[in-house]
Structure 1
Amino acid sequence: MLQVLIIGGGPIGLACALEAAKAKLDYLVLEKGCLVNSLYNYPSNMTFFSTSERLEIGKVPFVSNNPKPTRAEALEYYRRVAVSHGVNIRLFEEVKAIKKSGKGFTVTSSKEKYSADNIIIATGFYDIPFKLNVPGEDLPKVTHYYKDPHFYAFQKVVVIGAQNSAVDAALETWRKGAEVTMVVRQPEIGQRVKYWVRPDIINRIKEGSIKAYFNSSVSSIRDREIDINTPDGMVTIENDWVIAMTGYEPNLEFLKKTGIRLSKDSSHKPEYNEKTHQTNIPGIYLAGVICGGMDTHSLFIENSRIHAKRIIADIRKHKKADPVT
């Protein structure tokens, strides 16, 4: 019987593991993908908005070449943390169900079953993309994840979205020789775009290097064309690839299936005690961005690291309160 089972091997899941080890609790981390899977799926050339010290966990220094680290540096850092602390983690093992069993829980994964006194869910939000729900979205030319710009050299590319991921994809593919068109629902490029990047994309659009349709949406995708609904009517353009940076959502269905209550407003925020992070189910805790429900822009690594300390402190408190048998 594990004392703590942590679902999610991202930075916050790792932070929970380090706190559990520090408290001498018997724990295990299960991650359905690779180590820090969400960060691995970030664009290859991505630079973080946060400085390196704000991404540190377990008092392990994060040294980067520049104040704002890259994706590659972050992957190396969290891998080094996992190795140096001997984190007990099993990768490519997805949790399918959590069931109450006696005083603890039975956790069924894609590979086996586990028993645990406490569960920490730190699953993030990067696994489920928001769909366009338009004809042709399932074509091989459409992706909701952008990795590397070279693939799109000399191709006609449509980038959907106006936040950091979309802007990075548009600028990087354009600089590799792609003919780039942006489709943006809003009237302008997003205000949350990195302050050193936003002027760049605005200037590229103004000079005509990158075409942009604002207050617009994609209505249909075909093998060689795409239809765009604009304020001036329907526009059809030639197209080779569609990079749909429409955002992502947490796996709230998993929380509901587990029995965790969600708010009835649009945020669908899960119910938990903000001091302890324990949910309406005693023994099940939430850590990281999953705490915000659909409000995925309020929690980051830098302001979620504290969740690990709160959770492990509460687990230790309850452990001490248990009668000795």
Structure 2
Amino acid sequence: MKELKKDIVIVGGGPIGIACALECKKRNWDYVIIEKGALTNSIFNYPRNMTFFSSSEKLEIDEIPFISNKSKPNRDEALEYYRRVTTSNNLNINLFETVTDIKKEAGQFKTTSDKAVYFSDQVIICTGFYDIPKLLNVPGEDLDKVTHYYKEAHNYTLQDVIVVGASNSAVDAALEIWRKGGRVTMVVRGEGIGERVKYWVRPDIINRIKEGSIKAYFNSEIKAIKEESVEIHTPEGDIEIDNDYVVALTGYLPNFSLLEKSGITISDDQKYIPTYDPETMESNIEGLYLAGVICGGMETHKWFIENSRIHAKLIAEAIEKKQNVKA
């Protein structure tokens, strides 16, 4: 396996990883981004017709203008924007390469991937949270009819579809599948549609439920998934309904195992928040920094592109300050 020396290794090629690379380039640091999937892999895996909650200017990085057709861009516009930023700035990024281990040895980091070993003075982890779905942990979840990701509605036309969850992704999926001719039933653990659902979408789903176009079971959970039906536990008792597909959009988890293997301490409560200095984004391991959604642990709604863009600049300034002290 080849060995490479870099000043900084950035793990994660999403918007925040790109922002970190831009800060490195400004300072002429020798860096590399390592991304296990496609460029901005999480956005690539979003539903094809998804519209962002944030406006385009709040998704901009390094003050590079993001022009969209409407005030709130869609998935394709975001992919085009971050692709253009990456290619026009000739950023050094290795795609479809998975980091398996990060260790600090003799004051230097050794980052191991499935393709190479990198030695560096600093490492920045900005891996997001979209890769590990929160499972229902019920019988039948491994059936082919069950998915934890939603792409488009066409294949659900004229089908009995259960959408699990009441977040933005679940609501978007339920409405789109219904509008494309699917028979939609929502199963929601809470008592209503989530308060953080996009303000222009929330009334739509509530009205569709009220008029009976979309059936919803609140304070309910799936008990078991079968080939042609699903068992649901409701406040009125257990029921079994016909079903062709289950779209379980109950959220996703960060890759805690990589953090733990690297030596980063994580809170022992249910939030699993990693240790870092909010002024420098440096973890409890000197020279190992965190950026983006990963900083929120299980609170994946806390950090997003709009409010974590600044992490890249904080990290670069912190590294620069250390270098000046040593000089």
Scaled by the length of structure 1, the TM-score of the pair is 0.98
Give unpaired runs (5+ residues) of structure 2: none
- Measured after TM superposition, the shift of residue 242 of structure 1 is 0.3
C-alpha distance in 1, partners of 2:163/2:157? 14
C-alpha distance in 1, partners of 2:140/2:269? 31
C-alpha distance in 2, partners of 1:134/1:162? 19
C-alpha distance in 1, partners of 2:62/2:96? 24
Partner of 2:281: 277
Partner of 1:313: 317
For residue 88 of structure 1, the aligned residue among 83, 89, 92 is 92
Partner of 2:300: 296
Partner of 1:184: 188
For residue 165 of structure 2, the aligned residue among 158, 161, 165 is 161
Q: Match for 1:110: what amino acid? A: D
C-alpha distance in 2, partners of 1:120/1:321? 20
- Measured after TM superposition, the shift of residue 268 of structure 1 is 1.3
Is 1:97 matched up with 2:101? yes
Instruction: Describe how 1:1-325 pairs up with structure 2 within 5 A.
Output: 1-322=5-326
- Measured after TM superposition, the shift of residue 102 of structure 1 is 2.2
- Measured after TM superposition, the shift of residue 104 of structure 1 is 1.1
- Measured after TM superposition, the shift of residue 151 of structure 1 is 1.4
C-alpha distance in 2, partners of 1:130/1:290? 16
Q: Match for 2:216: what amino acid? A: A
C-alpha distance in 2, partners of 1:102/1:187? 53
Give unpaired runs (5+ residues) of structure 1: none
C-alpha distance in 1, partners of 2:197/2:109? 42
Q: Match for 2:38: what amino acid? A: C
How many residue pairs match? The answer is 323
Deviation per CA, 1:28-60, whole angstroms, max 9, x where unpaired? 000000000000111110000000000000221
Q: Match for 1:143: what amino acid? A: T
C-alpha distance in 2, partners of 1:283/1:38? 26
- Measured after TM superposition, the shift of residue 98 of structure 1 is 0.7
C-alpha distance in 2, partners of 1:35/1:12? 12
Q: Match for 1:242: what amino acid? A: V
C-alpha distance in 1, partners of 2:201/2:307? 23
Deviation per CA, 1:126-175, whole angstroms, max 9, x where unpaired? 11110000000000100000000111111110000001000000000000
Q: Match for 1:244: what amino acid? A: A
- Measured after TM superposition, the shift of residue 183 of structure 1 is 0.3
3-state SS in 2 of match to 1:97 = strand
3-state SS in 1 of match to 2:309 = helix
> Over the residues paired in the alignment, what is the CA RMSD in angstroms?
0.8
Q: Match for 1:67: what amino acid? A: S
C-alpha distance in 2, partners of 1:114/1:262? 25
C-alpha distance in 2, partners of 1:99/1:322? 23
C-alpha distance in 2, partners of 1:202/1:272? 40
CA contact (8 A) 2:146 2:246 kept: yes
- Measured after TM superposition, the shift of residue 101 of structure 1 is 2.4
- Measured after TM superposition, the shift of residue 316 of structure 1 is 1.3
C-alpha distance in 1, partners of 2:298/2:210? 33
C-alpha distance in 2, partners of 1:316/1:192? 38
- Measured after TM superposition, the shift of residue 321 of structure 1 is 2.6
